[in-house]
Structure 1
C-alpha cells in the first residue's frame, strides 16, 4: 500500500481523536462543534438560558468565509439583517424575549472555495416561572343541585392556557377551559346537569405553557346532589293535620327533625377497621334513606379523589332502623377516610342531609 496514503490515514486519525472540530458536510445541518465554529453563545444544549441572551459564534477558519453569504436563523426566522457579521465572528441580540423552551440557531455560509455549509445548535430558555396563587369556587358547604352554577376562579401568571379539572370517583375527569377575564384572572362557569353523578367532586385548577403545567387543588371537595330534588310545591300541604294536637296519630305529618337520619353506632370523626364495617341508623318507620359513601385519600391534608363505596337507597324497618354494610375499598389506601351522607324521604318530604366522616384505623 502506498506509504503516503498510510501517512494520510494516520494524520486523519490524529485529527479525529485530538481535535473537537470536524469538517462540515456541505448542505447538512450538524451540531456547531462539527462546523469549525467555536465559542458559541449560548452553549450548545445549555439550559435555563435567559430570554434576553444574545447569540454569537466564532468562525474557526477565519478568512475563509464569504461574509456576504452568511445568513443567521433563530427558530427558523431570518435575523441576518439584525445581526453583526464579520469574517471572524457573528452576533445577534434579540429584539424581544426568546420564547421559553428549546430554541434553535442555524447559520448558513459559503467558503471562499464556493462550498455551501450549514451549522446549527440548540439551547433551552427558562421562561417566567408559572405561578397559580389561588383557586376558589362559589360553592359553600351545601350541595350543588341540578341547575346550580359552579364558578371557579384561578389567579396566577397572565397570558397562559387555563383550565379546570372536575374529578369524581378518583378517575372520572371533566376538563373545562377557562377564560382570562383580566390580567392573570381566569374564570369558568359550569351548570350542574341532571346527568351528573351525585357525590364529591375534587376541583383542580391548571395553568399551562407549552410543556410546563402547574396545578392547585381546592382544599375542600364540592358535592353534586342530582338524585334528590326539591319536591314540587315544596312542603305545601305536607303537614296538613300533622301538628294538630302535638304528635297525635304517631308520625302522621311528622317533623323533619325526626325524619332526618342519624347514625347510632358511629359519631363524626370515629375510627373504623380496614375490612369494612356496618353502619346502623335511625329515621322514621318505613322511610327511604339514600346513602352515599365516598372513600378518599388525603395527601398533605388535601383530598385528591376517591372511590364511591356505597351509593344506594335503603328502607327503614317498622321501628325506623336501617343498616348499611360498608365493604372495604377495592384499593387499600393509607389514611383512608369515609365521607358518609344520608337523607331520608317520606312521601313528598325530604329531610336535611346528615353527614359524618369516619377514618380508617391506623395500625400501630
Structure 2
C-alpha cells in the first residue's frame, strides 16, 4: 500500500483556477474524505491523482514514485489506482463477473475463485456473478464497482461520491460494506463527498475544500470540535451565529454569559458565538433565558426545537423525540458547556 502526497497542485479551466496550490498527504492504509460544496474542485483533484487530467503545476507522488509533475506523467493504467465513479460505471451488457474481471489479464479472467473472493469482500453472494447490472439494486451496483476497482489489488482507491445516489438506508449499509472492504485490503483511499456526516463517520482524515484550497485538514473529531472559523463551523452542521461581547466573566450574548472553547480574543471586543443544537438544553439554570417554541422538527429518535428568545433571537435545541415540547410552550434554554467563538461581529 502507498502514501499519496500532493504538493502545490494547481488546475485551471480558463482564467480562474479550480485548484490553487493544493497540498495534501494521505497516509498509507488510511481513508481521507475530501469534503466541500459541489463545483469546488473535489472531482478535479481525483482526476489529477488518477492521471485523467494533467495539473498546470505541482506534483503527485504515490509511494516513492512521482506520477505527475517534475517532468513526469505516468499513464493512468500504470499508477496502481482503482477508481469508483458516482454512477458505478458498470457495463450494462456484461454480467457481474465480466464487469469485475474486465481490466484483468486474460489468464486471470478465467479465475472464478477471484470473482467469488471479491464478491465476498464487498458483502455480496457468489450467485451475484451471473446477474446483469440492471438486476441489481443501486447499493449492489456500487459494491460491484468497488470489487472491480479492487480486482487488480491497487495501492490506492479513489471514490467519487459513490453513495450520493442511494437512499438513506441503502447508503448506510453500502458505506459500511465499502469501509470494511477497504480495511481488509489495507488500501489507501480518498473519498470525495459533499455529505458532512458521511465524511466524519467514514474517514480517518477529513480535508475541507473551499475556494480551490484546503481550509482545514485533520481527524474528524478535530474538524468538528475545532473548525477554523465560523463559516466552516456552519458548513459542518446546524448552527446559530450570535454576536457576543468579551468581558472579564466570559462572553455575554443572548443566551447569557457563556464560556468559549479554545483561544478567544482578549479585551472587550465583539466576537461571533457559534452555537450548535447539541450545545443547548431545555433545562432551567441560573440566569438562563426563556423563550417560546416556534416550531418542532420531529425526526423520531430526536427532535429539533426552534425557540424564539425575548429579544427575537431564534435558537435550535436538539432533544429526544419523546420529550419534544409543544409549539407555543414557554421553555428555558440553557447552554451546556463551552461554545465556539471567533473574532469579529459579522454573522456569516
TM-score by length of 2: 0.25
Which structure is richer in relative contact order (CA contacts within 8 A, separation 6 or more)?
2
More helix by share: 2
- Higher Cα radius of gyration: 1
TM-score by length of 1: 0.24
